[in-house]
């Protein structure tokens, strides 16, 4: 693990923003240890920040501070916020992706954004703050991983790497200026 990469402040994961720092401090205030802090941050992003498609609203944002301000984001943006909250508390946090089919075995592929955290004594552990709904139940219960989506259709896969920054395809999609409906119809995918 290269901790400095996974603790960095950046355009998308702007954890030095005053609003992020304040929210991270509030979440840390009642946490007894690293695991309870990760759990508090995870629950906050999963349960208090709406997913654009579920809420049927936008705007489409990329920066963690914008997600916090608007209380809405796509899975990618929610993963940026979770990374910012955890990194601001000194917890190495990466971005991870799955390549999934949108709706059944013949539907198009798209990327799904989630996180991985470094948690002693387990090492890297993936967690998915996408937001729960009927048929989607992501939880944080180490050492097991309970992600929002299981791989079930041909060609779906977990991208094997952990990233310090969002993939270029994700940055491009979130930066186009589309409204939430346009992005829903043009979700990013990665090249094989």
Q: Does any domain span residue 192?
A: no
What is the domain count for the chain?
Answer: 1
pLDDT of residue 169: 95
Report in angstroms the alpha-carbon separations of 71 from 26, 47, 54, 161, 168: 16, 10, 13, 28, 24
Three-class SS of residue 81?
helix
- What value does the mean pLDDT of the chain take? 94
The answer as to whether 7 is a domain residue is: yes
Whole-prediction pTM value? 0.96
Residue 132 lies in a domain: no
Does residue 123 lie in a domain region?
yes
Domain that holds residue 170: 3-127+138-184
Reduce the DSSP state of residue 165 to 3 states and report it: coil
Using DSSP, state whether 96 is helix, strand or coil: strand
**Cα distance between residue 63 and residue 77, in whole Å:** 7
Mean pLDDT for the stretch of residues 166-186: 92
Beta partners for residue 93, in sequence order: 117
Report if residue 17 sits inside a domain.
yes
Domain assignment of residue 153, yes or no: yes
* Band of residue 177 on the pLDDT scale cut at 50, 70, 90: confident
Whether 72 has a pLDDT exceeding 80, the answer reads yes
Residue 192's pLDDT is what? 59
For residue 68, what is the domain's CATH number?
Answer: 3.10.620.30
Confidence of residue 123 (pLDDT cuts 50, 70, 90): very high
Answer yes or no: is 190 within a domain. no
Burial 122-159 (b: 16+ CB within 10 A, else e): eeebbbbbbbbeeeeebbbeeeeeebbbeeeeeebeee
Distance CA 95, CA 62 (A): 13
In a domain, 191, yes or no: no
> How far, in Å, CA of 144 to CA of 13, rounded?
26
Contact between 167 and 111 (Cβ < 8 Å): yes
* Mean pLDDT (whole number) for 141-158: 95
Of the CA atoms within 13 Å of residue 18, those in its CB half-sphere come to 0
Sign of the Cα pseudo-torsion (49, 54, 56, 61, in order):
positive
Read off the pLDDT of residues 3-57 as tens digits, 9 standing for 90 and up. 789 999 999 999 999 999 999 999 999 899 999 999 999 999 999 999 999 999 9
């Amino acid at each position: 693990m290269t901790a400095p990469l996974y603790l960095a402040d950046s355009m998308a994961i702007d954890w030095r923003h005053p609003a992020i720092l304040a929210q991270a401090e509030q979440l840390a205030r009642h946490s007894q240890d690293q695991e309870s802090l990760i759990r508090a941050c995870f629950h906050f992003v999963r349960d208090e920040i709406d997913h654009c498609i579920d809420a049927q609203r936008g705007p489409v944002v990329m920066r963690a501070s914008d997600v916090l301000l608007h209380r809405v984001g796509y899975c990618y943006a929610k993963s940026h916020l979770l990374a910012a909250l955890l990194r601001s508390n000194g917890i190495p946090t990466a971005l991870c992706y799955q390549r999934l089919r949108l709706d059944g075995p013949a539907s198009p592929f798209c990327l799904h954004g989630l996180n991985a955290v470094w948690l002693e004594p387990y090492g890297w552990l993936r967690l998915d703050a996408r937001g729960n709904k009927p048929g989607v139940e992501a939880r944080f219960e180490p050492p097991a991983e309970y992600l929002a989506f299981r791989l079930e259709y041909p060609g779906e896969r977990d991208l094997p790497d952990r990233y310090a920054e969002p993939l270029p395809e994700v940055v491009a999609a979130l930066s186009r200026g589309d409204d939430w409906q346009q992005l829903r119809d043009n979700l990013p995918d990665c090249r094989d």
